[in-house]
């Protein structure tokens, strides 16, 4: 397969549709996503994980090609374990982001067709979230959304995000941002997956908890 055919095939894979959200809080971070995976107009799966635990205090959301996303997650999980083995302590969110950015830049001619959010605790701030594009470009964010439903999610986050708020203050905001996108974006659907990362560690909230938040 030549380069042009390869890139064309990869471009087709990215059309999976999703919505992910990341919020920075004073005591940690919140990440949320939907659970639908699509292939064009076809719903390929109704229960796909898009938020992954990278380390005890690190989390990542993925949007884009499923195969590429899973490969990046496995790579980062391995690299973070290796870092802890070599240095005797956990990697910080900023250092993990720099590592991932360098890896993705090395593949710029055959890139991973993904948009990623990587964040957690353990750095100089209460929580940190970074957005990475397929070539490894990085932006430091307070609140951010990726995927096909991100315009709808941003519309809600612009007004509802509690600046300098705690995880508890913003938990319903993240959940409702995804729920808002689900109402208008056909590629975003099923139910809301909600994860928090604090000094206590990584926690994936039960579906019943999320439904209670959305019912308020």
40, burial (CB in 10 Å: exposed 0-12, middle 13-18, buried 19+) = exposed
pTM: 0.89
CATH 3.40.50.300 at 3-215, yes or no: no
Higher per-residue confidence, 127 vs 12: 127
pLDDT of 40 over the 80 cut = no
With contact defined as beta carbons under 8 Å apart, do 127 and 197 qualify? yes
Q: What is the residue whose two structure tokens read 């710029």?
A: 108
Using alpha carbons, list the distances in angstroms from residue 139 to 86, 104, 110, 117, 143.
Answer: 28, 14, 22, 10, 11
> pLDDT tens digits, residue range 180-192?
999 988 888 789 9
With contact defined as beta carbons under 8 Å apart, do 134 and 146 qualify? no
Confidence of residue 126 (pLDDT cuts 50, 70, 90): confident
Taken in order 22, 25, 29, 35, the sign of the CA dihedral is negative
Confidence of residue 7 (pLDDT cuts 50, 70, 90): very low
Task: Report, as residue numbers or ranges, the catalytic residues.
Answer: 18
pLDDT of 116 over the 90 cut = yes
User: Helix, strand, or coil here: 60?
Assistant: strand
Across residues 51-79, what is the average pLDDT? 94
Mean pLDDT of the residues in the chain: 90
Return the number of other C-beta atoms located less than 10 Å from residue 209's C-beta: 13
pLDDT of 9 over the 60 cut = no
> How many separate helices (H) and strands (E) can be counted in the chain?
6, 12
Structure-token pair, residue 125: 């701030």
pLDDT of 61 over the 50 cut = yes
pLDDT of 166 over the 80 cut = yes
Structure-token pair, residue 73: 């997650």
Percent of the chain with pLDDT over 70: 92
Distance CA 156, CA 134 (A): 26
The pLDDT, as a whole number, for residue 142 is 97
The pLDDT, as a whole number, for residue 159 is 94
**Residue 172: which region, alpha, beta or left (left: phi > 0; alpha: psi -120 to 50)?**
alpha
């Amino acid at each position: 397969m030549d380069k042009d055919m390869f890139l064309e095939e990869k471009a087709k894979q990215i059309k999976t549709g999703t919505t992910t959200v990341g919020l920075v809080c004073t005591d940690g971070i919140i990440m949320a996503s939907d659970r639908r995976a699509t292939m064009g107009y076809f719903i390929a799966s109704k229960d796909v994980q898009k938020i992954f635990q990278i380390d005890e205090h690190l989390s990542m959301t993925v949007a884009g090609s499923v195969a590429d996303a899973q490969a990046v997650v496995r790579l980062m999980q391995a690299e973070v374990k290796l870092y802890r083995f070599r240095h005797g302590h956990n990697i910080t969110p900023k250092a993990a982001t720099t590592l991932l950015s360098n890896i993705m830049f090395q593949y710029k001619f055959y890139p991973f067709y993904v948009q990623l959010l990587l964040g957690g605790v353990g750095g100089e701030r209460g929580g940190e979230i970074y957005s990475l594009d397929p070539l490894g470009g990085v932006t430091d964010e307070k609140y951010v959304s990726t995927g096909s439903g991100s315009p709808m999610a941003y519309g809600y986050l612009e007004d509802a995000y509690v600046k300098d708020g705690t995880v508890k203050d913003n938990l319903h905001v993240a959940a409702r941002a995804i729920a808002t996108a689900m109402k208008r974006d056909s590629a975003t659907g099923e139910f809301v997956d909600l994860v928090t990362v604090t000094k206590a560690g990584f926690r994936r909230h039960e579906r019943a908890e999320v439904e209670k938040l959305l019912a308020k």
